[in-house]
Amino acid sequence: MKARPAKKRTQVRGHRSPAHFVFILLTTATAALADNSVRLQVAVKGEHNDPKGSVQEVHQRWLEVSATAFHLEKPERVRIEWTLFGDDLAAKKIVRQASGIGTMELAQSQVATIKTKPTTFTYTPRHSVKTGSSSRARFKTVEATGARYHGWAVRAFIGDQLAGEAYSIGSIKKLVDSSK
């Protein structure tokens, strides 16, 4: 009689059942839909209108904000605060280029939209300018100036309570929080 080879035991660590994942998804979704929460979707729109024969760049940017409210017992007036940030190329820092406040009436699970006023970002990138002529021509470097578009921040308030927020990049949230 031949001896049977021993069975290899395999241990499964951290195995979770599909029901466990459903529970995680449900609790996460429930937390995301807390009372008086507003989900914001922001689209950046713009135009590019450079002057002819110049290195200067002129951009216009505005935001189209769509808001959806969850768990509202009655329609509420929502205050939308928006800010557009630019890179100050001479000072090499991020600055608040424009900001504003708009209001909208929101009902449960309905979508409302608002469009911000256009903001102009005018800047001249670093470039070279030819000085002199013929074979002795030299080039002089001109440093960048003006404000170039950097990003945006949108926050929704019901009364004085923050109900939703959205940022183009995470570092802008720090700028908005530090400006208070």
Residues 124-166 have pLDDT tens digits of 888 888 887 777 788 888 888 899 999 999 999 998 999 999 9
Q: Note down the domain range covering 141.
A: 36-178
153 belongs to a structural domain: yes
103 belongs to a structural domain: yes
27 belongs to a structural domain: no
6 belongs to a structural domain: no
- Is the pTM value of this prediction over 0.75? no
The per-residue pLDDT for 81 is 95
> Looking at residues 79-89, what average pLDDT do you find?
94
Burial of 133 (0-12, 13-18, 19+ CB in 10 A): exposed
30 belongs to a structural domain: no
Domain count, the chain: 1
CATH number at residue 77: 2.60.40.10
Spell out a b/e string for 28-48, using b for 16 or more CB atoms within 10 Å of the CB, else e. eeeeeeeebbbbbebeeeeee
Is the model's pLDDT at 27 over the cut of 80?
A: no
pLDDT band of residue 22 (cuts 50, 70, 90) is very low
The per-residue pLDDT for 62 is 96
The per-residue pLDDT for 23 is 43
Q: List the single range of 21-35, 99-113, 144-158 with lowest mean pLDDT.
A: 21-35
58 belongs to a structural domain: yes
Distances (CA, A) of 141 to 53, 56, 137, 144: 18, 15, 13, 10
The better pLDDT of the pair 18, 59 is held by 59
Is the model's pLDDT at 2 over the cut of 90?
A: no
Closest CA to 96 of 107, 110, 81, 106: 81
Q: List the single range of 48-57, 91-100, 119-128 with lowest mean pLDDT.
A: 48-57
25 belongs to a structural domain: no
Residues 86-96 have pLDDT tens digits of 999 888 899 99
160 belongs to a structural domain: yes
For the chain, the average pLDDT equals: 82
